[in-house]
Amino acid sequence: MNTSAPKTFFSLGFAIALWLAAPALHALPFADTVVSFTPGNSSFPDSIYGVEDDSGGVYTGRSGEGVFDARAVTALDGAVLGLGGSAGIPGSIILHFSSGEVVDGPGADLRLYDTLSFRDGVNVEISADGTHFMNALFSAGDLSYFKCSLQQPCAADVDIADLQLDAFSYLRITAAGNIVQGFPEAYTLDAVEALHYRSTAVPEPGTLALFSLAAVGLAFVRRRND
């Protein structure tokens, strides 16, 4: 009697179920919502904040000097928002993870991506409620380095291990330290990624069904192997 065929079938079913469920479980958690954006003041009347699109057609939002579009900072695609702020008030943006929160894990927990030219200075504050923020990172930047790109992003990492906050879903990014002048001015943010994340979203029915299928398949395979 050939018993290998059913086993193979259920193993395959289990593998497919896991494969289908994986994208839903491990979708890259980028900050997906812009709560507010306050452009900085510029010492150059014609070189201010705005969106620079170097995505090669991937980004479909608006771009240009003096333009703000939330889509520029909610996907890692080579489209960036220059916050502005070479004179007076530095530009500042508040972002939110709407379906979960960043938590503490080994090493860095949050990563900012600057993918355009200069390694601009930046200050990062985090908040659990969107109202009370605490300092989490200051990076002075380095304007002698100007090779930040989508292929080789300039990352700014935040580790919350030593902060008195176990989890957060809001962050405020403010131009600071060394600020480049000229469009797009100051810190050029592409996207913000959670490296350690706890989802608060309810799994979709489809995902649950796939898990059930996987569990049944696994139980069946184990029984046959006993």
Binding region for Ca ion (CB under 5 A): 77, 79, 190-191
Dihedral, CA atoms, 38, 42, 45, 48, nearest 10 degrees?
-60
Cα 142 to Cα 177: distance, rounded to the nearest angstrom? 9
Nearer to Ca ion, 8 or 60 (CB): 60
Which tokens hold the place of 116?
């355009």
Q: Which segments within 128-183 are labelled E, that is strand? A: 134-139, 154-158, 167-168, 170-175
Q: At how many degrees (to 10) do helices 4-25 and 205-225 cross? A: 150
Nearer to Ca ion, 184 or 217 (CB): 184
- Minimal distance, residue 215 CB to Ca ion, in Å: 38
- Minimal distance, residue 93 CB to Ca ion, in Å: 12
- Minimal distance, residue 97 CB to Ca ion, in Å: 16
Nearer to Ca ion, 77 or 109 (CB): 77
Nearer to Ca ion, 80 or 136 (CB): 80
Q: Which helix (H) or strand (E) holds 214?
A: helix 205-225
- Minimal distance, residue 71 CB to Ca ion, in Å: 8
Cβ atoms of residues 201 and 101 within 8 Å: no
Q: Give me the residue label for tokens 């980004």.
A: 59
Nearer to Ca ion, 17 or 191 (CB): 191
Cα 116 to Cα 82: distance, rounded to the nearest angstrom? 9
- Minimal distance, residue 194 CB to Ca ion, in Å: 16
Q: Which residues pair with 93 in a beta bridge?
A: 37, 173
